[in-house]
Homo-oligomer: A and B are copies of this chain.
Amino acid sequence: MYKRMDSFTALSPVPVVMVSCAGEKDGEIFDNIITIAWAGTVASEPPAVSISIRKSRLSHELITKSGEFVINLVSEENCKDADWCGVKSGRDFDKFKELGLEKVPVHNLEKAKGIKGCPVHIGCKVKSVTDLGSHDMFVAEIVSVAAAEELFDTEEKLRLDKAKLVAYCHGEYLALGDVLGFFGYSVAAPKVLSRRMDKAKMKK
């Protein structure tokens, strides 16, 4: 049996990412970080994402003006910093400075910088902004991706499973657990299934 509840943002798990952006603040170039769980992939070709930001946030203003931002994937090591960047405002703190974070240039972006220590930097250029009430939704094209060197295997393949990424679920940050399957595993030939699932176990 199912129990009806008041409508709320029940989609779970969702990503949790640190979005970095840059622009003028008090007459100087300022780099900010905002942590966002209202993010998603919205298309494959061209690769595109959406992030939603409350209109009151400094990052809303910076991204609206610059038209660009970086999605920094969050690992378990970045989790506490991510939480802090979600709670505090760039109007009160220079978050890079407070957290001792270094900036990394991002290909195809002019202003926004990646956060050193985050496993993956996704460079994004805004295509549209839509007012959805509490939040504005920024749809952006992915114009570059860079991943930390140590995440590549000997065949130069990106191994995101090594990144120890974090998911967000109903107010909590969660580590990722066991591999349950791969896309297409329900119809895979037994040979493929056992080879790939063995490989998944070997990753641990």
Contact = CB atoms under 8 A, between A and B. Distances in A.
A167 B160 contact: no
A181 B172 contact: yes
Interface string A137-152: 1010011111111001
Contacts of A4: 107, 144-146
B42 A52 contact: yes
A15 B17 contact: no
A80 interface: yes
Given A40-B50, A43-B137, A7 B143 contact: yes
Nearest to A40: B40
A84 B186 contact: yes
A161 B167 contact: no
Among the interface residues A130, A137, A176, A187, which one has the most CB atoms of the partner chain B within 10 A?
A176
Contacts of A179: 172-174
Nearest to A128: B130
Contact of A139 (B11, B137, B148, B169): B137
9 contacts: A6-B145, A11-B122, A12-B120, A13-B165, A43-B132, A76-B180, A87-B183, A174-B176, A176-B176
Given A13-B13, A83-B184, 18 more contacts: A2-B147, A7-B46, A10-B142, A11-B41, A12-B160, A14-B14, A38-B41, A40-B41, A48-B133, A50-B50, A76-B180, A87-B184, A128-B130, A132-B139, A158-B170, A166-B180, A172-B183, A175-B177
